Homo-oligomer: A and B are copies of this chain.
Amino acid sequence: MAQSNDFLVPGSNVQIDGTPGGPLSGLTFVAKDLFDIAGHPTGAGNHDWASAHPVPTENAWAVQTLLDAGASLAGKSITDEISLGILGENAFDGTPLNPKAPGRVPGGSSSGSVSAVAQGFCDLAIGTDTGGSIRVPASYCGVYGIRPTHGRVPLTGMLPQAPSSDTTGWFASDAATFARVSSVMLNEQVLADLPTRLVVATDAFGFADEHVAEALKPMVDELSAIIGKTCEDLLAPQGLSVWARAQRTLQPAEAWSTFKDWIERENPRLAFQVARNLAAAATISRVDRNWAGLMREEARARFKHLIPPGTILCLPTTPGPAPLKNRPMAELDIVRDRITCLAAHGGLTGHPQVNLPGSTVDGAPVGLSIVGARGHDMALVAVAKAMEK
């Protein structure tokens, strides 16, 4: 496996020992450079961000919670610029290695966190997921990753993007560690009882690359054997692309609200693709936002009906393995849009989702996702543990 330390924010240098005796004692973690660490600037993956913002005086909730539980902070990890990216290519801080597929991107925006865990530099890592920034890198680098129920984990000290979709998530490379950190972050024990019904999302499997559906088939079969009752259904009856469009209306419009003041005051340097998308976000109309908001209501109603407590749904986390590095923008725009078709439901509905590693296409990882009822995050963690046995 390829190795590199390129997942740490250049010039950052921070280690903090965890409180002795806690449930995560002996474990190490890195924190995506969107989380405040007292006394250290939050860089946000953009060289004009830190200079325009005060150095934090308190640790983010997620950082402090892990420290209090005994885990030790081993560094600050690279993020896509102000969390606006899904591939992990950052012209300012660099593109962390995907150790499982070195010619490919690691996925983003939690790029440094996933890379550090996948390389074994640390046991776990925290990141954020607004439109897929935990789930996609977890799939691309072959590790466990969770996007918790929206609103469940406090976001204090985490740089926001689109608050109605923002979550704090985490990665681990084995299910036991993943379960330990999940218990701490969600303040809940791993459940003894597993879900009893599995829905296979036929539209999502049909949308993914043909080889991805084939590669994931053994994992779906195993999941079905563990859960029992299995049925097929549509994830998004209105269309995966219709849901994706709604998310890509609501999320950028909110992101523009978040970053507008900074941008208009500082005229910061940004990669063209990021700036272009923000400029487009500034022009999204109220009418479009209203229709997208109604589609979000439909998506929430659909998931409430489709995934009640005791049921989980499975789908390919990403339509394919990680794309190759340094590809032209137009090609990556299409990749990004296709990713959103399989990821938009997270931001729209707020349901929890876990990426399970275990398959490859052309030697590169692809993950299987399981989605649960709101608040039933630990049921997904329990399934992850059962699958690893």
Contacts and interface: CB of A to CB of B under 8 A. Distances in A.
A118 interface: no
A269 interface: yes
Given A271-B269, A275-B275, A264 B91 contact: no
B279 A276 contact: yes
B280 A272 contact: no
B270 A272 contact: yes
A187 interface: no
A269 B270 contact: yes
A265 interface: yes
A330 interface: yes
Contacts of A92: 269
A192 interface: no
A122 interface: no
Interface string A251-270: 00000000000011101111
A92 B280 CA distance: 24
B271 A268 contact: yes
A328 interface: yes
Contacts of A89: 267
A276 B280 CA distance: 8
A48 interface: yes
Nearest to A46: B269
A287 interface: no
Given A275-B276, A276-B279, A280-B279, A269 B267 contact: no
A38 to B, nearest CB: 29
Contact of A272 (B267, B273, B328, B330): B267
A366 to B, nearest CB: 25
A172 interface: no
A62 interface: no
Nearest to A92: B269
A2 interface: no
A334 interface: no
A85 to B, nearest CB: 11
Interface in A314-328: 328
A250 interface: no
Given A48-B91, A264-B330, A279-B279, 7 more contacts: A89-B267, A92-B269, A264-B328, A265-B329, A268-B272, A269-B270, A276-B276
Interface of A: 48, 89, 91-92, 263-265, 267-273, 275-276, 278-280, 328-330
27 contacts: A48-B91, A89-B267, A91-B268, A91-B269, A263-B272, A263-B329, A264-B328, A264-B329, A267-B272, A267-B329, A268-B271, A268-B272, A269-B269, A269-B270, A269-B271, A270-B270, A270-B272, A270-B275, A272-B278, A275-B275, A275-B276, A275-B279, A276-B276, A276-B278, A276-B279, A279-B279, A279-B280
